[in-house]
Chain A
Amino acid sequence: MDLCDTPEEAEFRARLREWLHEVLPGLPPKPDPADWPGRRAYDLGWQRTLYDAGYADVHRNASPALRMIFLEESEKAGAPYVGANFVGLLHAGPTIAAEGTDAQRARWLPPILRGEEVWCQGFSEPDAGSDLAALRTRARRDGDDYVVTGGKIWTSHAEVADWCELLVRTDPDAPRHHGITWLAMPMDAEGVTVRPLRTLAGSAEFAEVFLDEVRVPAANRVGAENDGWRVTMVTLSFERGTAFVGEVVACRRTLRQLACGARENGRWDDPALRRRLGRLDAEFRALWRLTQWNVSAAMAGGGVPGVGGSVFKLRYSAARQELYDTAADVLGPDALDLDRPWVLDRLSSLSYTIAAGTSQIQRNIVAERMLGLPKGR
């Protein structure tokens, strides 16, 4: 049991830290959250910078420990978050790498890594959220194409995406989990309509996607026809495994800023608030250690982080909400002013116990898959 870097890890960390230190000051200013083309350009530009410096592949090819170091150092230095590249880098890309053909890897991975193409995730449907296997978007085979009709919802970054990892039902008569197929759909195909949805934070982070007789080449199918559920589980293990790790470091930075803010405005004198801040510090320290524990376990087991990801996700999503509720306590009446820092973050933190599997679903997973309790009712 140790928490020290190996020589290789230490070398990587030092090199990365120095590079970030050099390159971050020259970065263009962050675009306005409502400026979608601007955000796309900004996020892709950062990915290109990473690519040119040899760091683009770290999410996919490096050992989990190097990936953690990458996320830790990036967050500590205040480097941009993956943003619009989230799906491509963190789950569609890894899924294609693991399950795709050579031709598919050659077609889709380089543009993701070079910061040329943005992906989105078309899994959820209006009647299939937590119950993903209830999805109804249909695809029928017609020559070399699938013809897709249906609709997706809550599709993050759909407005600026080039590709969509899309789940469709290819065999309506098969048992729920068996008739599903995983497709890569071009977002500019005829019959795709994107309608932005306004979030409670006022922004349009996600969208509804309508699919009307959209032709998707059968060559875009990843995995076998009707084997999409298995491929989806690969995607979800990446999504829950490591996707939120860097954010823990960012939360610890925010917590320090909060404490300093409280000292400036006098709230610090309230022992109840200090105790809350202290407890949050314990929580985020523990979450970071839990990640290190899970990653070490995955490395020892030779694979992706397993259901331990659900333990982390449950605890992290709640802690993040508590962090921004505490921020509101520090701000007092200013917590109602959208122009104050932390107020938008507080609103967006509300999605964490819902997106990527709700907390209730994570508890079901822990109970059934980790504790072996009987299938729930």
Chain B
Amino acid sequence: MRFQLSEDQRALKMGVRRLLERRFPREALRAAVDAPGRIDRELWRALGEAGFFALTLPEAEGGVGLGRPEAVLAFEEAGRALLPGPLVATHLAAGAVPGAAAGETVVAAVGGALVEWLDAADVVRGDTSGAVPLRSVDPLTPLHRVPRPAAADPLAVLLTAAEQLGGAVRLSELAVQHARTRQQFGRPIGAFQAVQHLCADLLVRAETARAAVYAAAVTGDPGDIAAARLLADEAAVRGARDCLQVHGGMGFTWEADVHLHLKRAWVRAQRNGSVTDSEELLAAGLVS
């Protein structure tokens, strides 16, 4: 048993992180917030060139030929960077929809009762008849609701969990950074135990989710994937709330990034059906 990242996996993860830092810095994130609903095609193609969408596609089909764990690591980084766009849907379309692997074609898909990026995508998979636009809570994710929800693809659930994990890790970093620098009562707020414990819980939830998500990536077991989803949703959603609390009034502003993470975490938690489905799946497994 060697349940740690290999050298190659670490390098891949860091490579994706650096690519995103370069191509999608904070100014780009805020620019995307100010011009919602548009996909940055150049960035999309850069991701395609880097192999982001073709990671698990066999080499014979023009892909990178890596496995689920590598895809999970890349999606963790995407979640960490709060990268917008139908990333999971396009990744899953690589090999099936021409141009998806290369990042030329943006592919959206019905996931649960929602479709993200319906209008901006080139290709939409699933039954979208009767789709109704929502005024999306997440300024970075346009949403439509469909009357006939699609069953969840376990791989989509896993990659979404990986994004949630990345978001949770980032939120833990943001909280700790703020707690170290913000001063009240003549000392950094991170010296107060109530704040320390919020930060500790952020980390504990993220690290527990990490173990679950990575294990599910290795085994591919439906139960493990359902567990990963529950833990990662919790880490991202509760992590965002706690991070907001650590930021105080600043956390309640449009200016701080915390709300963007929280809103995206809510969107991802609805993608591919609700957490109830995952809980019921695991419960059924206990008596089978």
Measured CB to CB, the residues of A under 8 A from B are 1-6, 9, 65, 68, 255-256, 258-260, 263, 268, 271, 274-279, 281-283, 285-287, 289-290, 292-293, 295-297, 299-300, 308, 311, 314-315, 360, 362-364, 366-368, 370-377
A360 proximity list for chain B (CB < 8 A):
193, 197
A371 touches B230 (CB 8 A): no
With a 10 A CB-CB cut-off, give which of A5, A68, A308, A377 has the most chain B CB atoms: A377
- Per the bound structure, the CA–CA distance linking A242 and B283 in Å amounts to 28
A290 touches B214 (CB 8 A): no
Partner of B215, one of A68, A278, A292, A300: A292
If over half of A's interface residues share one DSSP class (helix, strand or loop), that class is named, otherwise mixed; here it is helix
For residue B1, which residue of chain A has the nearest CB? A65
Q: Which of B98-147 contact A (CB under 8 A)?
A: none
B218 touches A376 (CB 8 A): no
- Per the bound structure, the CA–CA distance linking A260 and B6 in Å amounts to 40
Query: Would you call B35 an interface residue if the criterion is a C-beta within 8 Å of the partner chain's C-beta atoms?
Result: no
- Per the bound structure, the CA–CA distance linking A287 and B285 in Å amounts to 18
Measured CB to CB, the residues of B under 8 A from A are 1-6, 9, 69, 172, 176, 179-180, 187-188, 190-193, 195-197, 199-201, 203-204, 207-212, 214-215, 217-219, 223-224, 226-228, 230-231, 276, 278-283, 285-287
A278 touches B280 (CB 8 A): yes
Q: A281-B227, A285-B223, A285-B224 are in contact. Are A293 and B282 (CB under 8 A)?
A: no
Distance in Å from the Cβ of A276 to the closest Cβ of chain B? 8
Q: A277-B283, A278-B278 are in contact. Are A367 and B196 (CB under 8 A)?
A: yes
User: Assuming A290-B212, A367-B190, what are 11 further A-B pairs, CB within 8 angstroms?
Assistant: A1-B9, A2-B1, A9-B1, A259-B283, A268-B287, A278-B226, A293-B211, A297-B4, A300-B4, A374-B190, A374-B191
A376 proximity list for chain B (CB < 8 A):
191-193, 196
Distance in Å from the Cβ of A265 to the closest Cβ of chain B? 13
A293 touches B227 (CB 8 A): no
- Per the bound structure, the CA–CA distance linking A297 and B4 in Å amounts to 7
For residue B195, which residue of chain A has the nearest CB? A373
B192 proximity list for chain A (CB < 8 A):
376-377
B283 touches A275 (CB 8 A): yes
Q: A293-B214, A374-B187 are in contact. Are A366 and B3 (CB under 8 A)?
A: no
- Per the bound structure, the CA–CA distance linking A314 and B4 in Å amounts to 22
Q: A2-B1, A296-B2 are in contact. Are A278 and B279 (CB under 8 A)?
A: yes
- Per the bound structure, the CA–CA distance linking A311 and B180 in Å amounts to 21
B191 touches A6 (CB 8 A): no
A268 proximity list for chain B (CB < 8 A):
287
With a 10 A CB-CB cut-off, give which of A258, A371, A372 has the most chain B CB atoms: A371
B69 proximity list for chain A (CB < 8 A):
1
A/B interface sample: 28 pairs, CB < 8 A = A3-B1, A3-B215, A3-B218, A65-B1, A68-B1, A259-B286, A260-B286, A268-B287, A271-B280, A277-B283, A279-B279, A279-B282, A281-B285, A285-B212, A286-B215, A289-B3, A289-B212, A290-B207, A293-B3, A295-B3, A296-B2, A296-B3, A296-B4, A297-B4, A364-B196, A373-B180, A374-B187, A377-B187
B200 touches A366 (CB 8 A): yes
A279 touches B230 (CB 8 A): yes
For residue A3, which residue of chain B has the nearest CB? B218
B211 proximity list for chain A (CB < 8 A):
286, 289-290, 292-293
Q: A286-B231, A373-B179 are in contact. Are A314 and B278 (CB under 8 A)?
A: no
- Per the bound structure, the CA–CA distance linking A207 and B130 in Å amounts to 70
A256 touches B286 (CB 8 A): yes
Across the A-B interface, give the 9 residue pairs with the lowest CB-CB distance, nearest first: A278-B279, A367-B196, A282-B227, A259-B286, A278-B283, A278-B282, A286-B212, A366-B200, A290-B211
With a 10 A CB-CB cut-off, give which of A65, A362, A367 has the most chain B CB atoms: A367
B230 touches A282 (CB 8 A): yes
B217 proximity list for chain A (CB < 8 A):
1
A259 touches B204 (CB 8 A): no
A300 proximity list for chain B (CB < 8 A):
2, 4
- Per the bound structure, the CA–CA distance linking A138 and B253 in Å amounts to 56
B287 touches A259 (CB 8 A): yes
B276 proximity list for chain A (CB < 8 A):
271, 275
B191 proximity list for chain A (CB < 8 A):
373-377
Distance in Å from the Cβ of A8 to the closest Cβ of chain B? 11
For residue A319, which residue of chain B has the nearest CB? B208
- Per the bound structure, the CA–CA distance linking A136 and B80 in Å amounts to 49
